[in-house]
Structure formats: C-alpha cells, structure tokens
Amino acid sequence: MSNLSLIVVLLVLLALGYQLGMARSRKVATVNADLRMHSRPHHYGMMVGLWAVLPAFFILLLWLWLSPAVINAMVLAQLPAEVASQSADQLRVVSQRISNLANNFGVVADAAQWELNAAEHLRQLKANSAIVLTALMAVIAAVGMLFSLLKITPRLKARHQVERVVKALLVLCSTVAILTTIGIVLSMVGETLKFFSYIPPTEFFFGTTWNPRFSTVGVGEQGNFGLVPLLSGTVLIAGIAMLVAIPLGLMVAIYLAEYAPLKLRNTAKPVIEVLAGIPTIVYGFFALVTVGPFLRDLGAAIGLDINATSALTAGVVMGIMIIPFISSLSDDIITQVPKSMRDGSLGLGATKSETILKVVLPAALPGIVGAVLLAASRAIGETMIVVLAAGNSPALTANPFEAVSTVTVTIVNQLTGDNDFSSPQSLVAFALGLTLFVITLLLNVMALVIVRKYREQYE
C-alpha cells in the first residue's frame, strides 16, 4: 500500500511543518521585539503544516482518480492491432488479465508473449507513476512549506487562515449527510428508470402477481413484477406488529410515567429499552426457532392451521421489537404534559385513570400519533425478522397464518450479491427500494410535523 505510506508521510510532514512554523514564528517574534505577533505560535505552526500538506493531498486525490484510466489507455495503445480491435467488453477482460499478470496473480505459463509484454509495460508504468507522484508531491509540499515559512511576519493573520480551513472542513463534513440523501435518491431513481424501461410503471405498481423468473429467456418471458402482493404482505406484518406494540407500549408508558414508583421506573425503563438495542437478526432467529414453532403448536392445540413461518410470527416478534420505540417516545410526551392540567382534573374529583384517559392522553395525542408513525415506518423498513420468519411466499393474502413476503425481503432476494445491474430481475430491487424510501419518508415527515406542532403548544 504505497498510497497509505504516502498518507503517513503527509501526516509526518504536517507535524514537521507545525514544529518549523512554531520555531520560525518565535524567531520572528524575538527579532521584531517591538511588534506584537498577530497570532499564537501554534497558529503559525498549523498554518505551515496545512500549506505543506493540503496542496500535496489534493494532488494525491487527483492522481488516484485519474491515473488508472490513463495508464490503462497507455497499455491498451501498445497492444497488437488484432487484440486492440476487439469490443470494449473483451478489452476489459484483456486488461483485467494483464493487470493480474502484472501483479503476479495469473499463471505465467499460460500467458501469450504479447500479454507478458503488456504486463511488463503496465508494471513499469505503475512504477513510474508512483515515482512521478511522489516527486510531484514532495516538490509541492516543499514549496508550500517554504512559501508559508517565509510569509511569517508579525502582521500575518495566521489564526484567521487556519480557522478558515477548519471551518471549511466542518462545512464539508456537514454536507456529507445531504450528499448521502442525494446519493440515495439519485442512484435509486436512475436504476428505477432503467427498470421502468423493461417493465411499465403501471404493471409494477398495480400488478397483483409477483413472479420474476430468474432467467431472462426472451423479451416476452419477462415474468411478473407486481408490487401489490409485496406491499400487502408488508402492511399485514407491520399491522400485526402495531397491534402488539401499541397497546403494550402505550400502557407501559402510562404506567411508568403516571403510576410507577421511582425505583421501578428507573429499573424497568432501561430494561425495556434493551429491546431496542438488540440486533434484528437476533429477533429473526428468535422468531424462527422459538416463536414460530410455539405459535404453530398453539394453533394446533386450538384447531387453527398456523404456519411456523407466517405473517403472524414475524409480526408478533416485530411488535416486541417496537415496544420500546412507542413506550419511550410516549413516555417523554406524557411527562411533558403540564402538571396543572392533571391537578385541575384531580381537583374536580376525577380518579387518576379518568384524568389520564380524558385529560392527559388527549393532550398528548399528537405526540403519541407521531411516535406511532415513527414506529410504523420502522416496522415497514425492517428486514431481517421478515427474511427469517415470514416464509417468503409472495402471495396476495389477508390471512395472517400464512406465509407472505414483503418489500424488504424481496430486495434481499433480488440482489443476490451480483453487481451486474442490467436485468429487470436485479433492477427491480431499486424500484422496490425507492418505493420503501418514499413510504418511510412520508411517515417520518408526517411524524416530525405532528410532533413539532405539538411541542409548540406547551412552550
């Protein structure tokens, strides 16, 4: 990893520039004893270090970005004519082979002479490129360091320069979150549009059959990409989860906020919140080997035919996972309701439960609805529990005792670790992902708006 060592050298240079700059600024200060230095010595040090490292670092990034393509083109230009005239795909295979040979990966005995030559050429080019890069960076770093060292005078506003760079860095970091969102949207919209060039959107959004045949035999044999059964499975499981989580979570929140002695509250709350920290794969395994068989046996005992992997299994376990989301958020909101409202109701003779049901809960309702929406978005986007416990059968059914499939499961199934996104079978994953993204986004925004509005009421 010569690039890594270059970065290490840059870090060393940073430290060196820092020390040199500090020393130089102290010297300047003693020479011009009558003048006050504008900044502290470490600012001058930092400035010199940055001047030494930043330009060289940009050169490194630029080089890493551009040089592979240039080198590849130079190698291909040297190939014999009959090889060079092949199609782009074949050329890619050729250059892959050459680079393997150059890295001593391939079997040397099988290689043709021109391949060996090209590999040797490539090796040389790479070595040259590394030397040129190192030299270039050394020159630029040296120039930057010298330039900034000579610039140091009592008047130089080194602190301002350093602070400007630091601030730029901070701004850069805070744009990453935006870039991520843009990246998500752009990449998914791009691949989704590609998918819609195979399958019309109406067929995708309103089709009631999900059967993406895996081989792309012909254009007429595309398979069915109907979203409806997946969406119904998602909604079914999320609905069951909410049926489990809302009553339990809400009652837990009410009891802990209004009734529980402080000691119980302080132990029970973190223990229940442990449920939120457990990895979802653990819930999936729990559902698959424990809850599923238990529900099946329970169903058999009362004469119901329940699949071990069914919407019910996945929904119940997901509900358990979501309890702490609802209980914690609702707890916060219930405790935010002003005490005067409770006192007023109690003073009129209402019992505590009447106060809670008729005064506190209505006041907290918007916040609770927000919490429920957030929990619902979590349930819809949940993957591992459903992958393991829902049975993966994309049938349009409302029977919770049967196996179903969901949007997330299908994404996992369609992207089977293949990075060739050219068939509708793999592209559909992005269309599904975009659908999922939009649905959860809507739920989140709705929740945020409701919670914000509520917060304004009492502040």
- What is the DSSP code (8-state) at residue 287? I
What string of DSSP letters covers 57-69? Answer: HHHHHHHHHHHHH
Q: Which of 78, 96, 353, 457 binds another protein (CB under 8 A)?
A: 353
Q: Which helix (H) or strand (E) holds 257?
A: none
Select the residue interacting with another protein from 354, 358, 453, 457 (CB under 8 A).
354
Choice from 378, 394, 403, 428 touching another protein (CB under 8 A): 378
Query: Which CB sits closer to another protein, 88 or 274?
Result: 274
Residue (126 or 269) nearer to another protein, CB: 269
Nearer to another protein, 85 or 267 (CB): 267
When binding is defined by CB under 8 A, the residue of 171, 219, 301, 302 that contacts another protein is 171
Tokens linked to 66: 């551009």
Q: Closest CB to another protein among 216 and 383?
A: 383
In the complex, minimum distance from the CB of residue 139 to another protein, in angstroms, rounded to a whole number: 29
Region near another protein per CB under 8 A, out of 12-20, 75-83, 86-94, 249-257 = 249-257
List the interface residues with another protein, window 256-285 (CB under 8 A).
256, 258-260, 264, 268, 271-272, 274-275, 277-282, 284-285
DSSP, collapsed to helix, strand or coil, labels residue 305 as coil
Nearer to another protein, 145 or 371 (CB): 371
Cβ proximity to another protein: between 184 and 398 the closer is 184
Q: Site for another protein (CB under 8 A): which residue of 59, 116, 136, 248?
A: 248
Counting Cα atoms < 13 Å in the Cβ hemisphere of 396 gives 10
CB 150, min distance to another protein, A: 25
Binders of another protein in range 90-119 (CB under 8 A): none
Interface with another protein by CB under 8 A: which range of 113-121, 185-193, 219-227, 304-312? 185-193
Where do the DSSP E strands lie in 222-267?
224-225
Residues 6+ apart with CB under 8 A from 112: none
DSSP string, 95-124: HHHHHHHHTT-S-GGG--HHHHHHHHHHHH
CA distance 17 to 49: 4
Q: Which of 80, 183, 200, 201 binds another protein (CB under 8 A)?
A: 183
Which 8-state DSSP code applies to residue 36? P
DSSP string over 207-260: ---EE--SS---GGG--EE-SHHHHHHHHHHHHHHHHHHHHHHHHHHHIIIIIS
Decide: is 331 part of the binding site for another protein (CB under 8 A). no
Give the tokens for residue 143: 């120039």
Size of the site for another protein (CB under 8 A): 85
Residue 45 burial (C-beta neighbours within 10 Å; 0-12, 13-18, 19+): buried
Q: State the Cα angle at 232 between 299 and 187, rounded to 5°.
A: 130
Q: How far is CA 166 from CA 71, 157, 169, in A?
A: 35, 15, 5
| Residue among 56 and 272 whose Cβ is closer to another protein | 272
Q: How far apart are CA 327 and CA 348, in angstroms?
A: 29
Nearer to another protein (CB atom), residue 140 or residue 431: 431
Stretch that binds another protein, among 8-16, 226-234, 328-336, 380-388 (CB under 8 A): 380-388
Neighbours of 135 (CB within 10 A): 10
Nearer to another protein, 26 or 42 (CB): 42
CA distance 169 to 158: 17
> Count of residues for the chain?
459
x/- mask, another protein, residues 114-153, rule CB under 8 A, reads ----------------------------------------
Q: CB of 328: closest distance to another protein in angstroms?
A: 12
Spatial distance between the Cα atoms of 194 and 189, rounded to a whole number of angstroms: 9
Q: How many CB atoms lie within 10 A of CB 42?
A: 16
Q: Which of 381, 393, 395, 423 binds another protein (CB under 8 A)?
A: 381
* Range 385-444, binding another protein (CB under 8 A): 387-388, 408, 411-412, 415, 417, 419, 421, 429-430, 433, 436-437, 440-441, 444
Instruction: Name the residue nearer to another protein (CB basis): 80 or 293.
Output: 293
Residues 8-67 that bind another protein (CB under 8 A): none
Nearer to another protein, 141 or 394 (CB): 394
Among 84, 289, 298, 398, binds another protein (CB under 8 A): 289
**Burial of residue 227, with CB atoms counted within 10 A of its CB: 0-12 exposed, 13-18 middle, 19 or more buried:** buried
Shortest Å, Cβ 21 to another protein: 18
Q: Which helix (H) or strand (E) covers residue 211, if one does?
A: strand 210-211
Name which position in 180, 208, 211, 457 contacts another protein (CB under 8 A). 180
Interface residue with another protein among 80, 200, 201, 247 (CB under 8 A) is: 247
Backbone angles phi, psi at 309, to 5 degrees: -105, 105
| 320 binds another protein per the rule CB under 8 A | yes
Q: Does 343 bind another protein (CB under 8 A)?
A: no
Give the C-alpha separation, 223 to 339, whole Å.
61
